[in-house]
Amino acid sequence: MPPMLPDFSNSVKLKYVKLGYQYLVNHIITLTLIPIMIAIFVEVLRLGPSEILNLWKSLHFDLVQILCSALLLIFIATLYFMSKPRTIFLVDYSCFKPPVTCRVPFSTFMEHSRLILKNNPKSVDFQMRILERSGLGEETCLPPGIHYIPPKPTMEAARSEAELVIFSAMDSLFKKTGLKPKDIDILIVNCSLFSPTPSLSAMIINKYKLRSNIKSFNLSGMGCSAGLISIDLARDLLQVHPNSNAVVVSTEIITPNYYQGNERAMLLPNCLFRMGGAAILLTNRQSERRRAKYRLVHVVRTHKGADDKAYRCVFEEEDKEGKVGISLSKDLMAIAGEALKSNITTMGPLVLPASEQLLFLMTLIGRKIFSPKWKPYIPDFKQAFEHFCIHAGGRAVIDELQKNLQLSAEHVEASRMTLHRFGNTSSSSLWYELNYIESKGRMKRGERVWQIAFGSGFKCNSAVWKCNRTIKTPIEDSPWADCIDRYPVHIPEIVKL
């Protein structure tokens, strides 16, 4: 007897009920106004031309009243346009592509680990297990200073890495946009762990001979979410400085922060973090509207630093031997989940359609009034966004967000492939992900992108962008140019080394 096919009728009916509900709630105003307008139109047709003319003649207009009404309308319109925030455009951006000489295949990484940690084979085995499950590929890169045995975390090597990454990204941005160094009004650089004197922003000003009255900022110690903090700062500055250009540079310098001790919590970053950087051009000039790629819609920042566990879950400290490293707490994923919950609670009302907000509100009221055991309703953010750029902090981070936000494999494809090809590039990873979506030819005009990043402190930050024009492929100076046709690739749960 042939196997019985499952009965899909109930699930299909439920699907159409949900679609009908979403359409009804999201278009309630339109659906209410249409019958009213039809009724008015029918009534006007019933009156006839003579009655309409008599009604018009019966109206008495006073010249003073007309002038006062016109002035009031002009005043209200002027007040509205003056108080309206300036629109912030993302003209273009550029991602650093590391040279082939910096690549670190698994075999090279493990060979170096065995030589550096030859007195502690358990630490070597631990790193191997992490690497096998990390989701990284064979083409990720580390800076030249880390390729030495033992590594050379000197100030000179760190500066060389910073110059290579930042200047390459800036040169590419100038080439793409036609921007001249003298046209930059605001410069913001974020790099969490390398903060030399003079600062990295001063290094850029010196290299490109930027104007003496430039407004420059250098953010450090703010973790992987610092890129969106820089975007938020640029947005605030562009609100008060009209007709200005802002350049944001996001990177993480790996050289001085490669841990050479035996603490497992500190060895984890060695396996995940890799070279990377991005330069982004933002502007409030209306003349750039046509060629700009995106428009900034929202930035939402959440900081859980008041909680001691959250504050210490990503912590730079010395181990028992006095070696400095970044310690990652075992509570990291739980704390990230709480930070995300707070962030989307603020983000939801700004972006979700009315149908999702109503369901969320009804569930919340039900939990408060009837039973706290009611399963909380998780809003469907796929109704609000077409694309998701989740910080490629590690496989566990992407898995957790995919599960909590109920996203499909395609929604998290950009994050997984970025982690595989470039590793965790810290604050710049979001821009590699966005470039992946563009390089695949998936970004269309009017589509919305949600960037989500986590960082030490503990922070969860979000940015929402709306595509200003359909992005055509191939993308100029794309870090994916030589490999986009190979992606997506299958990433096994465990890669046996």
Which residues are part of the catalytic machinery? 224, 303, 387, 391, 420, 424
Task: Give the sheet arrangement for strand 215-219, strand by strand.
Answer: 215-219, 186-190, 245-251, 277-283, 89-95, 294-303, 459-467, 448-455, 387-390
Length of the chain as a residue count: 497
Q: How many CB atoms lie within 10 A of CB 315?
A: 14
Q: How many CB atoms lie within 10 A of CB 175?
A: 12
Token pair recorded at residue 365: 């009221």
Token pair recorded at residue 396: 């566990």
Rounded CA Rg of the chain: 27
Which residues fall within 8 angstroms of residue 157, CB to CB, at 6 or more apart? 143, 144, 145, 255, 256
Please state, in angstroms and as integers, the Cα–Cα distance from residue 104 to each residue in 69, 193, 273, 432, 472, following that order.
72, 22, 12, 19, 32
Helix (H, G, I), strand (E, B) or coil at 300: strand
Compute the half-sphere exposure of residue 114: CA atoms within 13 Å on the CB side of its CA: 8
Q: What angle separates helix 200-208 from helix 155-177, to the nearest 10 degrees?
A: 50
Token pair recorded at residue 402: 């995919």
Specify the amino acid at residue 301: R
**Cα dihedral across residues 404, 410, 415, 419: positive or negative:** positive
**Cα dihedral across residues 336, 342, 345, 351: positive or negative:** negative
DSSP letter assigned to residue 377:
P
Bond into 153 cis (ω within 30)? no
Task: Please spell the DSSP secondary structure of 133-177, one letter per residue.
Answer: HS---TT-B--HHHHSSS----HHHHHHHHHHHHHHHHHHHHHHH
Please list, residue by residue across 450-467, b when 16 or more beta carbons sit within 10 angstroms of its beta carbon and e when fewer do. Answer: bbbbbbbbbbbbbbbbeb
Alpha helices, DSSP H only, in 290-378?
308-312, 332-351, 354-369
Q: How many CB atoms lie within 10 A of CB 72?
A: 10
| φ/ψ (deg, to 5) at 273 | -80, 140
- Give the Cα-Cα-Cα angle 135, 138, 139 (nearest 5 degrees): 110
Helix (H, G, I), strand (E, B) or coil at 46: helix
Compute the half-sphere exposure of residue 152: CA atoms within 13 Å on the CB side of its CA: 13
CB 279 within 8 A of CB 249: yes
